[in-house]
Each structure stands twice: as structure tokens, then as C-alpha cells.
Structure 1
């Protein structure tokens, strides 16, 4: 199970770093990473602060899965937080039934294609890994 914890922490460190990069330097093509309508208008504009908050949250997730190795957080009930993270990523994979997730209805945008290929499968994989980890911990 240590391998799964390590993989999860690597994924979250990578995603956190990517979000910090976007917060500092912007995104070259926002339609690839943010949901947009068929007319190309972005459906959310998180800005630097919002992107930084997500980056910090992802770094916190990484700390939770690094905790068995480094003992960063001394909280005995971390598995509840871990299960909540798993549920969050499962909900992300399922999506909002319109712009993101496996069951989205708008599928003709750049983001929809990237979501179908990369984002939703990654969210589902992370969720499954978390549930496996917590089931056998």
C-alpha cells in the first residue's frame, strides 16, 4: 500500500505544481483546461487566486499521502479525509452532466476532448487508488 500512497503523492505534487505554474505564468490555451461552451466562451475563470487555492489544496492532498513516510500531520483520523478526497475525485470523474466528466453532454469543445482523454480518467484512477488504499489500510 506504500506504493499507492507514493503514487498518489506524486500525482498530487505534479498537479499542484502545474496549478502554481498556471497561477504564476498563465495558461497558453485556457480552452484546453477550463470548460467552455460550444461558442468558445469559458464557463469558469478562476484567476490567479483561485488557481493558487487549488494548488495549495492539491499540495495538502500530497501531504496526506506522504504522511505515512514523513509523518507531516499527526492526526489519527486521516483516513476519513482520504476517503473524502476519493469521493471528491469520483464526483469529478462523473462530472456535472454538461461540461465535464464522463457523462457530459457538450462534447464538441477542446476541453471536452481533453477531459475525455485525460482529466476524467485521471480523476477516476485517483479515486480508485484512494479507495483501494483505504480499504486495505
Structure 2
């Protein structure tokens, strides 16, 4: 199905109205004169899209591991001070984590209105996701997160360098997306 020029004009009108905070849908001619950008509304749309992309990529990595892939797997499992793994996730558990991450991506895409919101109370879901990742970033005071006591294992080094900062960034971006003024997004 090909889009008509009228359809393209209508889509551009909706997009431009969203970006500028104005309504140009009723105008015959488009005038691209300077209008101040509605930055909070743009960020409220862009942050969840970025979050969703991150969740999709990490979910794909978990599916790869569940199917037997080994790249990066060794440094993603926490170990104790003797090098013993603290977790032994099987394929089913790894698929469950991948499904959870995809669920988080769907919530973010729905919140940004890229796709229809499938679940009620999107703001509360976004805050719950933020809480999950904030708690993960803080950790459990022994092996995981910024508060871990054991910092010499391969996992601990990767956790300090990449995993915990990513979790903190995801938590903050979710909180920021929820805290921004509503703009054109109505809940």
C-alpha cells in the first residue's frame, strides 16, 4: 500500500505539531518558520525509544545465550571470591529474562506512543521498571551492584565498569521520562 501525498502531509503535520507544541493540521500550506521546540515532549518520546532499543538488544543477547551461545557469557555470571558461580541459569530461565526484557521494551514503546499502549497505568509501569534497575544498580552488598564487597572477579570488574552504570542509566532515564511534563502524551 502506497501512501498518498495527503497522508504524508497529515503525518508530517502531526509530527511537526508534536515537536513544536503547536497545531498545523488545519493549515493549507506548510510554513517551516522558526517555532520553539517542545523539548520535554521530545525527550518524553525519545528516552523510552532509546530504553526500548537497549532492552531489545539485551534481550537478543539473552536469547543467544539460551540457545547455547558462549560469547560474553562467562563474565555475566556473578562468582564468589573462589571463582565459583553463584548462579547456574538454564535455558528456560535465560529465556524468561529475555521475555521480561522484551516486556520492558513494549512498555517503553507504548509509553512513547510509538505503538499502542497494551497495558493500563503506563506511568506506574515505567516507575516500576526504574525501581527494578535502581535496585539492581545499588546491588545486594556482596556480589552485585555498586555496593558489592567482592570486586576482583571478572564479573565484578564488568559489573563495576558496565552493568551497574547501565542499570543506573536505565533507572534514571525511566524516572526522567515519567517526571517530564506531559506534553502531548495524555495519560
Q: Report the TM-score, using the length of structure 1 for normalisation.
A: 0.94
Structure 1: which 5+ residue stretches go unaligned? none
Partner of 1:4: 47
Is structure 2 residue 66 aligned with structure 1 residue 26?
no
Q: Which has the higher contact order (CA 8 A, sep 6+)?
A: 1
Partner of 1:71: 116
CA distance in 2 between counterparts of 1:2 and 1:72 reads 13
**Root-mean-square deviation (Å):** 1.2
Per the TM alignment, residue 72 of structure 1 is displaced from its structure 2 partner at its CA by 4.9
What are the Cα deviations for residues 35-90 of structure 1, in whole angstroms up to 9, with x where unaligned? 001211100111100000000000000001111111151x3411111101100000
4+ runs deviating over 4 angstroms:
none
CA distance in 1 between counterparts of 2:165 and 2:98 reads 20
CA distance in 2 between counterparts of 1:31 and 1:12 reads 20
Compare 26-35 and 10-19 and name the one that shifted more. Answer: 26-35
What are the Cα deviations for residues 8-57 of structure 1, in whole angstroms up to 9, with x where unaligned? 10010011101011101233464400100121110011110000000000
Q: Quick check: which one's helix share is greater?
A: 1
SS of the aligned residue for 1:132 comes to: helix
CA distance in 1 between counterparts of 2:52 and 2:76 reads 22
Partner of 1:90: 134
Q: Which structure has the larger Rg?
A: 2
Is structure 2 residue 95 aligned with structure 1 residue 52?
yes
Is structure 2 residue 161 aligned with structure 1 residue 126?
no
Aligned residue among 126, 143, 147 for 1:103: 147
Structure 2: which 5+ residue stretches go unaligned? 1-43, 183-187
